[in-house]
Amino acid sequence: MSRISPQAIVEPGAQLAADVVVGPFSYIGPRVRLGTGCIIENNVTIVGDTVLGERNHVFPMAVIGIAGASGEDGSVRIGDANAFREHVTVYGGVGEPTRVGNDNLLMIDSSVGVSAIVADHCILANVTHVGPGAILQDYTHTSGFSTVDPGVTVGTYTFIAAYTGIDRDTPPFAMVQGCPFRVRGVNTHKLRKCGFGDDDIRILKDVFRELFNSTGRVDPDALKRLRETRPGNPHIRRLLESIEGAERGA
């Protein structure tokens, strides 16, 4: 049976799984659906066409599904096992839902803009702001006070240093820093934790040195050479395809 505080407001029409917990002074709108095992702490607001999967934990003062600048009531689709810490804001998407995948941690005062996507296993550190329509691929990890511009794609396994401004697409597997950012190297620590072998990491480091050399930006001549050699390593292929396909390139 749901444990709903008598001080909470759950509007008629909201759908809550049998074991959902809702703390005092929280507001759950009429089109909200909350899956099994969700814990909604005190003073949380969840509105709009918003669906949370299983085992999500929403901490005090977080707001999910709020309308963006257009004022239109938007939609949010959230997977399983996410944590939304204090003062997190997830804006409702208009046209396309705002999406948060599975097993993500959104830390204090971080925000996800209208129709943005946070994939799986991401960590958004304190005061990270993800702009409207931006995409954070799997295993993205930001540091505090970083900003991702609207429409930008952050490649998988990317580590973003503190106070970094992501003003264009980032390559996968990278550590990036600065405003505007520069590629500083391979995110070795995360790759090892995720099971990448030493040979793959060594090859990635070699290619990163050739591609980004001392400037931290893509060297077009190096990119052309690597494209012509058609590397067999699937991670290198993914890296090159990401750079070549970037709408706002690294």
Residue 180, preceding peptide bond in cis (omega within 30° of 0): yes
pLDDT of 71 above 90: no
123-151: per-residue pLDDT in tens?
999 999 999 999 999 999 999 999 999 99
Q: What is the mean pLDDT of residues 210-235?
A: 84
pLDDT of 1 above 60: no
pLDDT of residue 248: 57
Tell whether pTM > 0.75.
Answer: yes
pLDDT of residue 232: 78
Rounded to 5 degrees, what are φ and ψ at 173? Answer: 70, 10
6-31: per-residue pLDDT in tens?
999 999 999 999 999 999 999 999 99
27-47: per-residue pLDDT in tens?
999 999 999 999 999 999 999
